[in-house]
Structure 1
Amino acid sequence: MKVNIFDVAKKSGLSVVTVSRVLNGAESVREKNRQKVLDAIKELDYRPNAAARSLARGKTGIIGLIITTLHDSFFDAIVKEVNDLLALHGYFLAVSVSSAGIASDESHYLIQEDRVDGLILLSPLEEDSYIVELKRRNIPYVLIDHQKPENDSFSITVDNVKGGYAATRHLLELGHTSIAHLCGDEMFRSTRERRSGFLKALNEQGLAPFEILYGEYEIEFGYQSCRKWISSGSLPTAVFAGDDFIALGVVNALLEAGIRIPEQVAVVGYDGQDIASKLHPYITTIRQPGERIGMAAVDMLLKRIDGTMKRGSCIRLDPELLVRESTVSLQPPGH
């Protein structure tokens, strides 16, 4: 038997009016009651009638999301959370994979002809062209992991300076003083901020980097950089990699050369990619909170759509250090 809004009200112990307000993202509902309704919806597997609600609101009932790649478990976590939460509010999610921006004389197909009620841009490379078009068409939007600080209004970001600092502090506290950093592409704001955190931690200790190298967020960059150090006979005792894929490349090169991890070289990655905890040695990493990012983005976008959020806001979330097998103290026990 199909579950309806009355079943949700009964299960949550609240009125149909309250349930309806939660589904429509109204600000007037207490957080405690909102959570009761969401729990009841999940337990009953209730799916609002999107077509009927779209007609009632005069909207499409569709939210667009533009992403640069599908090969990233951090992005996967964000998209899954966005999809699940939007479904609870009766929206469908339309996903587009696009690595480039849009030209000044055209629009992305999701933006054309009022196809979406709102749009989420996930790690856009050329966000300015999108923002100009979205503003022109009066389409509410939210940016995630964008590149330009001047576009911080209506955005969800992670404090990458804090993440780079935490990764480096972890290595310093383990006794390392010869630390290299392998950066990703300079076009990414996250690249620049992680490097800034790395340098801040070293400067506090009066230390200089072993080396800073620039490349792509790919396994091959980490592998070739580490091979270069091995061939030269000069290795750092620790490496802070710009992401987990670079870290995997470093680990591969070290293992291939018979260099022990973490006894001879410690490695820290970034992002919390699934693969970093699947292969030995498990890689110490800075985890980005994908689920919380997705939740914050949906909340902000729905508030923009229903008109309850007029002024811009940038939500910055903290990353988390996950200590695993690829790092260890250089100091013997008891010292």
Structure 2
Amino acid sequence: MSGPTLEDVAARAGVSRSLVSLVMRDSPKVSEGRRRAVLAAARELGYRPNLNARTLATGNSGTLGVMISDLHNPYFAEVVDGVEAAAHDNGMEIILGTGGRRPAHERRSVERLLQFRPAGLLLLGPVVETAAIEEAASQVPTVLVARSVRAGHVDTVNDDGATGSALAVEHLAALGHRDIVHVDGGGGSQSSVRRRGYEQAMRRLALSRHLRVVPSEYTDIGGAEAARALLAGDTLPTAIVAANDFNAVGIIGELSEAGVRVPQDVSVIGYDNTHLAGLRHIGLTTINQPREEMGRLATETLLQRLRGERTRAARHLLHPELVVRTSTGAPRS
């Protein structure tokens, strides 16, 4: 059975079909009284707008496509909170896709999102090749979060990862640490920027002889594997700058399994300040990047493109901050 139509709502409300269409598109051209009458009729009939029809009529679905690189990383969930809030404020909906941190999967996810004819795309931490990003941006306005590109038709929103890593090293050095290791994010987005910030800070603080980078990735499993590699070495460092919070949780778990206390034996600092970091039994010192603000800013940047308010590329760079909790302390004697 087919559901109620615009014509059915118009007949129930005693107005024209075109007026019902204006109400469903939230047009300001409709008086408040008629708007209430149409919405009441729609509720009584159980009418829901036909998204496919809207897509055919307007060329896009009034939605924003959002591709999340890693669905398991809470950082992205918190960015999406900001995206959804900003989209809702502007009468838009979002469609989610995920890429599983694999370029081929991300490419397919972007292609699927484009099939919905979104008004624009937001790509969160993509690892897909730049050519695929530029191809998508040639079809719809596209904004990257936690990824940099030079293309003039692609906008970006990032935090200053080099400064964030430097804040982590400086905090540990101020506590008295010298043997500070960085567990990096491998091929993950912004990993090289954070690694560079760590290396520059270690050199600036005359700690070059202690500089050491352990390969890893932005996952708890990667963190656990990096911790096992450190445990297998001759001596443990006194402090670890982890790739992100998720990675740091894996490191702490593996150290605890081996009887290594955090922070009494080894201090650990993360990056992102996700909700994981604030859990009482974790208490992770970390670098905060404003996830929800980044999501909102990315959405507003995309809407500027849609409204024709800007043609030049936007390059937003937000400043991170140190958040001190209980996972860092003075080095072991």
The percentage of counterpart residues that share the same residue type is 32
Distance (Å, rounded) in 2 between the aligned partners of 1:106 and 1:97 = 6
Secondary structure in 1 aligned to 2:190? Answer: helix
- Are the aligned partners of 1:261 and 1:327 in contact in 2 as well (CA < 8 Å)? yes
Which residue in the other structure is 1:199 paired with?
A: 199
Mapping of 1:10-159 within 5 angstroms? 59-99=60-100, 100-101=103-104, 108-112=111-115, 115-137=117-139, 139-146=140-147, 148-149=149-150, 153-159=154-160
Distance (Å, rounded) in 2 between the aligned partners of 1:308 and 1:188 = 32
Indicate the structure (1 or 2) with the bigger Cα radius of gyration.
2
Distance (Å, rounded) in 1 between the aligned partners of 2:265 and 2:95 = 47
Distance (Å, rounded) in 2 between the aligned partners of 1:253 and 1:163 = 25
Distance (Å, rounded) in 2 between the aligned partners of 1:280 and 1:56 = 53
Q: CA deviation at 1:136?
A: 3.8
Which residue in the other structure is 1:268 paired with?
A: 269
TM-score, with length taken from structure 2: 0.75
Q: CA deviation at 1:225?
A: 2.8
| Matched residue count | 283
Distance (Å, rounded) in 2 between the aligned partners of 1:259 and 1:131 = 43
**CA 1:268–1:105: 2 relative to 1, 3 Å:** closer
Distance (Å, rounded) in 2 between the aligned partners of 1:72 and 1:103 = 15
TM-score, with length taken from structure 1: 0.75
Which residue in the other structure is 1:172 paired with?
A: 173
Q: CA deviation at 1:275?
A: 2.0
Which residue in the other structure is 2:223 paired with?
A: 222
Secondary structure in 2 aligned to 1:110? Answer: helix
Distance (Å, rounded) in 2 between the aligned partners of 1:161 and 1:320 = 12
Gapped regions of structure 1 (runs ≥ 5) = 1-22, 25-48
What RMSD, in angstroms, separates the aligned Cα atoms of the two structures?
3.2
Q: CA deviation at 1:148?
A: 4.0
Distance (Å, rounded) in 2 between the aligned partners of 1:104 and 1:177 = 42
- Are the aligned partners of 1:156 and 1:293 in contact in 2 as well (CA < 8 Å)? yes
Gapped regions of structure 2 (runs ≥ 5) = 1-25, 28-48
Which residue in the other structure is 2:14 paired with?
A: none
Secondary structure in 1 aligned to 2:284? Answer: coil
Which residue in the other structure is 2:251 paired with?
A: 250
- Are the aligned partners of 2:106 and 2:128 in contact in 1 as well (CA < 8 Å)? no
Q: CA deviation at 1:59?
A: 4.5
Q: CA deviation at 1:263?
A: 2.2
Amino acid at match of 1:207: L
Mapping of 1:182-193 within 5 angstroms? 182-185=183-186, 187-193=187-193
Cα deviation, 1:86-139, whole Å, max 9, x if unaligned, reads 112111111111243589999702223x711111111111152433333443x1
**CA 1:274–1:58: 2 relative to 1, 3 Å:** same
- Are the aligned partners of 1:101 and 1:125 in contact in 2 as well (CA < 8 Å)? no
- Are the aligned partners of 2:85 and 2:296 in contact in 1 as well (CA < 8 Å)? no
- Are the aligned partners of 1:262 and 1:325 in contact in 2 as well (CA < 8 Å)? yes
**CA 1:150–1:197: 2 relative to 1, 3 Å:** farther
**CA 1:116–1:197: 2 relative to 1, 3 Å:** same
Distance (Å, rounded) in 1 between the aligned partners of 2:110 and 2:180 = 45
Which residue in the other structure is 2:19 paired with?
A: none
